[in-house]
Amino acid sequence: MRFATLAVDGSEQAAVLVNERWVPLNAIDARLSGDLMALIASEPDGAALSDIGRRAVDIRPAIPIEAAAYRPPYRHPRKIWGIGLNYGDHAADLAEKTPEQPASFIKADHTIIGPGDDIVIPRQSERTTAEAELGLIFGKVSQSVPAARALDALFGVCVILDQTAEDILRINPRYLTRAKNFPGFFSFGPEVVTMDEFLSDQEIQDVVVATFVDGVEVRRNTIGNMTHGPAELVRFHTDMMPFFPGDIISSGTPGAGLLHDGAVAKATVSGLAPLVNPARKERG
C-alpha cells in the first residue's frame, strides 16, 4: 500500500492511494487521524491495512495523483539515523574508506521538509550537497532485531534527499552533526510504501538509488552494492538502542550532487515516486 500526506483545505491530511487517487484516511474512518505518524504508531498488521484499502475503494471525494499537493509524510519521528559512506564509490569521492561498521549520525526533526520545499543552502556553507537515499521506516517497537528478521520490523520505505554542508565537514570530521543538521537538510516523500508492495516485484538488493541535480544524473547504484545492507543496518542500530514506529534510517547515498542557488535536486528509488526539491541560497 502507498500512503502520503497532502495539503487539503489548508491542513495536512494523511491519505492512501487506491485506483490512482488519494483517499484521506479520516474520510474512511473518523477515528483515523490526519497524521500518518499516528497510523504507523498504532502498529497495524497486514489485515488492518488491507481493511483500510478495501474501505477506501468507494470513498468520495478523492484526489487524483496529478492534483496532489504533497507535504512531508510526517514531521516528528522520535529519531532519524543517517548512514555515511555506505557505498565505496561515494567514500572515494570524499577520499575516505568505507568503514567496517556503519558510520551513523542522528538528525533532528527540525531538518524535515517535504516534496517541492526549498532546500536552503546555509550562509555558512559554500559547498552543500544533496544525496538520494532509501529510507527505512520502522513499524513497531524494535530492539535487538536479528538480521534474518530485520525487514519485518519495518512499516515501509520512502525516498530521501539528505543534505550535507561538505565544506564544514571537511574542516573537522567531528563536525558531522553540525554539517548535517541545518534546517531543510532532510527531505522525504512523496509517499511511504509498505514493505509488501515495495518488494512485490523486485528483490531489495536490485533496487536502484540515483541522485540528480538540474536533470543530470550524478550517480546511481543498487542496494546490493551497499557495504551494510538494510537488514544489517536494522540489526546494528537496534542492538544499540530501541527504535519506535516512525523512526527512520536513511541508508546511505551512491553519490552527492553539489547544489547552487536555483538548483533542482531529485532522488529516485526504483518502485517509488521521485522526490524533487529546489535549492536556494540563504540570504543575509
Most confident of 32-36, 91-95, 102-106: 102-106
In the structure grid, which three cell numbers stand for residue 59, read together? Answer: 470513498
Q: What is the pLDDT of residue 216?
A: 98
The 10s digit of each residue's pLDDT in 234-253 is 999 999 999 999 999 999 99
The 10s digit of each residue's pLDDT in 142-184 is 999 999 999 999 999 999 999 999 999 999 989 999 999 999 9
Q: What is the pLDDT of residue 89?
A: 66
* CA–centroid distance for 6 within its chain: 16
The 10s digit of each residue's pLDDT in 82-91 is 999 898 765 4
On whether the CB atoms of residues 1 and 200 are closer than 8 A, the answer is no
In the structure grid, which three cell numbers stand for residue 90, read together? Answer: 561515494
The answer on pLDDT for 30 being more than 80 is yes
* CA–centroid distance for 166 within its chain: 20
Q: What is the pLDDT of residue 164?
A: 97
On whether the CB atoms of residues 102 and 237 are closer than 8 A, the answer is yes
Tell me how far CA of residue 284 lies from CA of 7, 122, 152, 258, in angstroms.
30, 10, 47, 21
SS3 string, 60-101, reads CCCEEHHHCCEECCCCCCCCEEEEECCCHHHHHHCCCCCCCC
pTM of the predicted structure, to 2 decimals: 0.95
